[in-house]
């Protein structure tokens, strides 16, 4: 708790337009912190801002601000953005319901949100006080100075600007976005000695200016781990999706010295999902980023190293060691390797699409772009669960969402619960038997040519936003010549290697391959990259855990 004279003048402020909730928050705060902090309660965002300005004039300190998300006139994010100008060092907490968790996650990039709490928070001893204890400790440790933040200056319709924002958001790095057309954006460009010809400009929290940075440089400069701390490990996990994170959690928690290598951001395709509603233990659903960020923290807690923006280019067998080579020429070795490389969305082969990718055309959910779709007509290409989840998310703010499906029905590829939700959504329409023939636009997407598969009839429609989910391709090309793959590139393992009752021709051990073991002993596969895998989050996590069990068995017999 705060000490001395400072304690009596330090404030925890809470604002909620529901009087009952407002009183409940204040009651719980006073019960725990009332002796050391002054609890200030407001029932509107405007009165809360007035209170903050009065506190500022009196020289009082504000340690934590708790704001409800759903408030009239000004929502919680907008309020916290204004409160940031008055007390930039105060820790910021958003109170939200499950339905608004995506807004809370987006707030990380708008107001440098420190935490969000789901209502109800009972019991406070478990769900409220531990969070505030940590935030108050962090506030005291910061000496109450403003928290530096990364700034990104770019063009609205720049593919690389969009890529940088997505990279930072998916890696949970808070940043502020400035258009090169707005005054503050121009001031930052001038300060860095740059113009609009070379964008994006990234100014890190320590003031370093990065011009058109690639992901590895950006990761290194914003504090993400990119270099392994050792040359040799018990286990190298390649890929940071659900399977890789599951393997890292179980590997590290069971005593294996574990390093996870991810080329972009932990979470994989699941991390880009706006809402996963059929994952065990989350009856109200959970966003992919929220789920995978919890898994990342869990793996780190057990001691797993997590390397970001490292591209793996090769796998070599060196006696008992398995050597993983990176694109920069460096390498790391281990007793065992788990391949959890996952899949990537297939590219849409239609004229104009490639040139407009990142400029209105996006693969996957691209959640950083969702806010810009407010009030616009959005097209989604694909008929599987990921497309349905994106449609439901974007429909919250878009004028209309149109699902373009090549097949004759959604029921062949989408879960029943999602089909029901889409059917009930008033601003979502489904066009089956329809494909994108071409995309048109100068510096950004402006129109689409759609073709009816059966009749061949084409139609030109206005469109600024298109999100593509048209199947997945495994990220396994770099394994050619080392690990056996099927004709589609998926990794063959376990029983599939011994379909004729015999192990592979190059198999050197007396035993047959373990269930998830590839044709290279000690190299395992888990998740979507495995041939005939279930392509579900739950099964990927399970395979990651199972692979670690088999790693232990391999090590015991080696």
Q: Is the pLDDT of residue 5 over 50?
A: no
**SS3 for 194?**
coil
User: Which tokens is 148 given?
Assistant: 């530096």
* CATH topology (fold) of 361-470: FAD/NAD(P)-binding domain (3.50.50)
CB-based burial label for 349 (10 Å; 0-12, 13-18, 19+):
exposed
Distance from C-alpha of 277 to C-alpha of 262, rounded to nearest angstrom: 25
Q: Is the pLDDT of residue 501 over 90?
A: no
Q: What is the pLDDT of residue 38?
A: 94
Rounded average pLDDT over 532-547: 94
Which of 135-144, 193-202, 296-305, 524-533 is the least confident region? Answer: 135-144
Rounded average pLDDT over 225-248: 97
**SS3 for 74?**
coil
Q: What is the pLDDT of residues 122-161, one digit of tens each?
A: 888 988 999 999 999 888 887 665 446 889 999 988 899 9
* CATH topology (fold) of 4-141: Rossmann fold (3.40.50)
Model pTM above 0.75 = no
Q: What is the pLDDT of residue 359?
A: 93
Q: What is the pLDDT of residue 57?
A: 60
Q: Is the pLDDT of residue 211 over 80?
A: yes
- Split at pLDDT 50, 70, 90, the class of 506 is confident
What residue segments make up the domains of the chain, in order of their start?
4-141, 150-220, 232-344+473-557, 361-470
CA angle, 86 then 9 then 92, to 5°: 40
232-344+473-557, superfamily in CATH?
FAD/NAD(P)-binding domain (3.50.50.60)
- Higher-pLDDT residue of 284 and 208 is 208
Q: Is the pLDDT of residue 263 over 60?
A: yes
Rounded average pLDDT over 478-504: 89
Rounded average pLDDT over 193-203: 90
Q: Are strands 377-381 and 343-345 parallel, antiparallel or unpaired?
A: unpaired
Which residues are CB-neighbours of 557 under 8 A, at least 6 positions away? 511
Q: Is the pLDDT of residue 73 over 90?
A: no
Distance from C-alpha of 384 to C-alpha of 415, rounded to nearest angstrom: 8
Q: Is the pLDDT of residue 99 over 60?
A: no
CB-based burial label for 505 (10 Å; 0-12, 13-18, 19+):
exposed
> How many residues in total does the chain contain?
558
150-220, superfamily in CATH?
Glutaredoxin (3.40.30.10)
Q: Is the pLDDT of residue 528 over 50?
A: yes
Rounded average pLDDT over 277-282: 86
Q: Do domains 232-344+473-557 and 361-470 have the same CATH topology?
A: yes
CB-based burial label for 248 (10 Å; 0-12, 13-18, 19+):
buried
Average pLDDT, the chain: 90
Rounded average pLDDT over 267-274: 82
Rounded average pLDDT over 368-389: 90
Distance from C-alpha of 234 to C-alpha of 254, rounded to nearest angstrom: 11
Return the exposure string of 377-412: e unless at least 16 CB atoms fall within 10 Å of the residue's CB, then b: bbbbbbbbbbbbbbbbbbbbbbeebbbbbeeeebee
DSSP letter at 262 equals -
- Higher-pLDDT residue of 216 and 289 is 216
Q: Is the pLDDT of residue 11 over 80?
A: yes
Q: What is the pLDDT of residue 197?
A: 87
Q: Round the CA-based radius of gyration of the chain to a whole number and report it.
A: 25
Helix 19-33 to helix 129-141 angle (10° resolution) is 60
- Split at pLDDT 50, 70, 90, the class of 3 is very low
């Amino acid at each position: 708790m705060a000490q001395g004279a400072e304690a009596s003048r330090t404030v925890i402020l809470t604002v909620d337009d529901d009087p009952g909730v407002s009183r409940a928050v204040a009651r719980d705060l006073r019960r725990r912190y009332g002796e050391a902090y002054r609890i200030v309660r407001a029932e509107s965002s405007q009165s809360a801002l007035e209170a903050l300005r009065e506190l500022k004039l009196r020289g009082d300190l504000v340690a934590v601000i708790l704001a409800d998300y759903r408030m009239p006139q000004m929502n919680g994010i907008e309020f916290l953005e204004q409160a940031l100008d008055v007390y930039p060092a105060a820790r910021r907490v958003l109170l939200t319901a499950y339905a608004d968790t995506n807004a809370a996650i987006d707030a990380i990039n708008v107001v440098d949100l420190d935490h969000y709490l789901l209502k109800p928070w009972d019991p406070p001893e478990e769900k409220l006080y531990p969070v505030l204890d940590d935030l108050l400790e962090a506030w005291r440790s910061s000496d109450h100075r403003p928290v530096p933040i990364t700034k990104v200056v770019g063009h609205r319709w720049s593919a690389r600007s969009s890529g940088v924002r997505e990279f930072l958001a998916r890696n949970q790095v808070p940043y502020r976005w400035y258009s090169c057309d707005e005054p503050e954006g121009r001031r930052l460009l001038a300060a860095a000695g740059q113009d609009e010809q070379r964008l994006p400009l990234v100014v890190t929290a320590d003031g370093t200016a990065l011009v058109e940075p690639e992901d590895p440089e950006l990761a290194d400069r914003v504090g993400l781990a990119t270099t392994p701390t050792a040359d040799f490990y018990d286990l190298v996990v390649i890929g940071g999706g659900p399977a890789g994170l599951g393997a890292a959690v179980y590997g590290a928690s069971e005593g294996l010295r574990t390093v996870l290598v991810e080329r972009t951001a932990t979470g994989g395709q699941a991390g880009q999902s706006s809402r996963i509603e059929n994952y065990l233990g989350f009856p109200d659903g959970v966003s992919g980023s929220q789920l995978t960020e919890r898994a990342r923290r869990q793996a780190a807690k057990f001691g797993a190293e997590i390397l970001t923006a490292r591209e793996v280019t090769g796998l070599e067998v060196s006696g008992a060691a398995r050597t993983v080579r990176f694109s920069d020429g460096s390498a790391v070795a281990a007793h065992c390797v788990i391949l959890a490389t996952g899949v990537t969305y297939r590219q849409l082969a239609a004229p104009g699409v490639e040139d407009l990718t990142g400029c209105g055309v996006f693969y996957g959910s691209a959640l950083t772009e969702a806010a810009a779709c407010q009030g616009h007509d959005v097209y989604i290409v694909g008929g599987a669960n990921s497309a349905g989840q994106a449609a439901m998310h974007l429909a919250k703010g878009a004028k209309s969402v149109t699902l373009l499906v090549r097949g004759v029905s959604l029921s062949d590829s989408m879960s029943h619960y999602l089909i029901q939700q889409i059917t009930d959504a008033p601003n979502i329409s489904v066009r089956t038997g329809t494909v994108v023939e071409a995309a048109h636009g100068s510096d950004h997407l402006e129109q689409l040519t759609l073709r009816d598969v059966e009749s061949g009839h084409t139609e030109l429609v206005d469109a600024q936003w298109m999100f593509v989910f048209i199947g997945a391709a495994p990220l396994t090309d770099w394994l050619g010549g080392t690990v056996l793959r099927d004709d589609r590139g998926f990794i063959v393992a376990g029983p599939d290697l011994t379909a004729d009752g015999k192990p592979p021709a190059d198999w050197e051990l007396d035993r047959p391959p373990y269930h998830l073991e590839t044709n290279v002993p000690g190299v395992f596969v888990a998740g979507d990259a495995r041939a005939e895998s279930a392509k579900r989050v739950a099964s990927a996590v399970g395979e990651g855990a199972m692979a670690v069990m088999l790693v232990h068995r391999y090590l015991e017999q080696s």
